Amino acid sequence: MKRPLYERIACDLRRRITSGKLPVGQLLPTEAALCKRYGVSRHTAREALRRLRDAGLITRRRRAGTTVSASSASMKFSLPLNSAEDLFRYASGTRFLIESRGVIRAGPAEAKVLRCRPGQAWFRILGTRKQRGSRLPFALTTVYLHETLSALGRRLPQSGALIYTRVEEALGTRIAWIDQSMEAVTLDAQPAQRLRARAGGCALRVRRYFYDANERLLEVSDSLHPAGRFAYAMRLRRDKPEGSASRP
C-alpha cells in the first residue's frame, strides 16, 4: 500500500533531523515553504509536522515557528484527542500487526466487555500496534467484529489494515459515534511478554465501541498500553459563564 504524502514528508524530515542535517534548536521551514518544496497542500504539510511533534522531534509555538527539539524520536506515541477524527488517527498513524484471528463465542467475561449475551458469536482479531519505523509495540490490541463481518475479518491483510474503514465499506454505512473507556491496570505476565514490558508494571487499558447511526455495535477494540509508551494530549475549551461580558 502506497504511503500517504504526509507520511513520506514526515519520514524525509525525520531523516534530516536524526542525521543532524537539521540540528536541535534549528527552525524548520514554514508550512508555506514545505508546501512549495514538496508540492503539497497546507493541510498535508501540517499533518506531516504533527507526526514529528507527536514523535517528540519538534516543538511548535505560535508566532515563534517550529523548532527541532530532539535528535531521536520518543518511544511514546502521543495522540491528540479533541474529536472523533483524532481517534481514527490512532489507527491511520500506526501499524496493526495481526497475530491470530477467528470466530469465538463470548464467555461470561467477554460478554461483559462486549455488552452482549454469553454465547454470542464475534470475529476476534489479536495483534500488536506499532509506530511506523519502530520495532517495539506500544499496544496489545484485541478487535471484535460483529458476526456478520466474519468474512471481512478473514480477508484483512496481516499488516497495516484500517479496520474501521473496511467495516464502513463492507456494510455501506458510516460509524456515527464512538464510546470510549479508560482505566489503569496491572500488566499480567503473558501480555507483558508479548509487549516486551515488565510483568506487574502499570498499563492503560482503552476500550472503544464503534456504533452506526442506528446504534448497532459494529466493532470493539480493547488495547493495553504499557506505561511510558502511549499518552493522550487534550486541549479543552472552557465555556464562558452565562451573562459574562467579554473583556475589552
E strands of 115-166, at which residues?
Answer: 121-131, 139-146
Nearest Cα neighbor of 127 from 154, 158, 90, 89 is 158
Question: Measuring CA to CA, how many Å separate 173 from each of 110, 146, 165, 168?
Answer: 26, 14, 10, 5
Cα separation, 62 vs 66, whole angstroms:
9
Q: Residue type for 213, please?
A: A
Cα separation, 248 vs 234, whole angstroms:
28
Position 186 scores a pLDDT of 95
pLDDT in tens, the chain (248 residues): 467 888 889 889 988 888 889 888 889 988 999 999 999 999 999 888 887 877 778 887 777 788 888 776 654 454 444 555 555 555 556 788 999 999 999 999 999 999 999 999 999 999 998 877 677 888 999 999 999 999 999 999 988 767 888 898 999 988 888 888 889 999 999 999 999 998 999 999 999 999 988 888 999 999 999 988 877 766 655 666 665 555 54
CB-count exposure of residue 158 (10 Å: 0-12, 13-18, 19+): exposed
Position 73 scores a pLDDT of 60
Cα separation, 246 vs 248, whole angstroms:
6
- What residues contact residue 142 under an 8 Å CB cut-off, 6+ apart? 124, 125, 126, 221, 222, 223
Position 75 scores a pLDDT of 46
Backbone phi, psi, residue 4, to 5° = -60, 155
State how far Cα 107 lies from the chain centre: 28
